[in-house]
Amino acid sequence: MDDVKFGEILLPGDEDTQSRREKTVRQKFWPTFRRAVRQVPFSRDVVAGFYCALDPQTPTKVRGVLLAALAYFVMPVDMIPDIFALVGFSDDIAVLSAAFAMVRGNIRPSHYEAADRVLADGPEEAMKTI
Give tens-digit pLDDT for 54-105: 999 999 999 999 999 999 988 866 544 544 444 566 778 888 999 999 998 9
Half-sphere exposure of 125 (CA within 13 A, CB side): 9
Q: Which pTM was predicted? A: 0.80
Which of the four pLDDT bands, split at 50, 70 and 90, describes residue 7? Answer: low
Contact 1, 94 (CB under 8 A): yes
pLDDT at 44 over 90: yes
pLDDT at 1: 45
CA angle 114, 115, 118 (to 5 degrees): 85
Gap between the Cα atoms of 17 and 80, Å rounded = 23
What number of helices (H) and strands (E) belong to the chain?
7, 0
Question: 88, 80 in Cβ contact below 8 A?
Answer: yes
